[in-house]
Amino acid sequence: MAKPKLSPQQQAQVLAQRIQAQVVRAAGKGLMAAAIFLAARVKETMSEPAPRKRTPGGGYRATTRATPGAPIRKLSGRARGSVFRRQISDTQVAVGTNAKSDKGFNYPKYHERPMRGQSGSGKHRFIAPTVRQYRAELARIIGRVTTVEMR
């Protein structure tokens, strides 16, 4: 039997309940649990699909311009699939993405950080706003107040 289709508001409620349950399960489990939680939230942020069409080279391009200030949108899923979490030391973890275009351009970094000489850079941030949004949950999972450094 098929599940009934949920409205966007109901889907948001279900997602909020899942996130809360994950926070409760992971509470006090430490830094790596927080990194896993944050990586999942970053992927969710990047999951909004863009209207797209195939290019002659086999890739995709968006058919509409992105809203200024909105997170990057999903075209092929390459950026979302490249989200990583890594423990650097006992007191540090890294959460980020290392996707590159076919020509080697680091487009997630371009969208996340303003860069000198690149006027469109930093306009579609997705990691920093996600960290700010879930700061309280991250502190609860880690078990103490934390500091965040963006590089």
- Angle 151-73-147 from CA coordinates, rounded to 5°: 30
Across the chain, which has 151 residues, the per-10-residue mean pLDDT values are 79 87 76 91 88 85 83 83 88 87 84 85 87 89 73 68
Cα(11)–Cα(6) distance, integer angstroms: 6
Look at residues 47, 50, 11, 26 and name the one whose alpha carbon lies nearest to residue 134.
Answer: 26
pLDDT of residue 126: 87
pLDDT of residue 28: 60
pLDDT of residue 75: 80
pLDDT of residue 52: 87
**33 membership: H or E segment, kind and range:** helix 31-45
Task: Name the 3-class secondary structure at 57.
Answer: coil
pLDDT of residue 46: 87
Kindly give the interhelix angle for 8-26 and 31-45, rounded to the nearest 10 degrees. Answer: 170
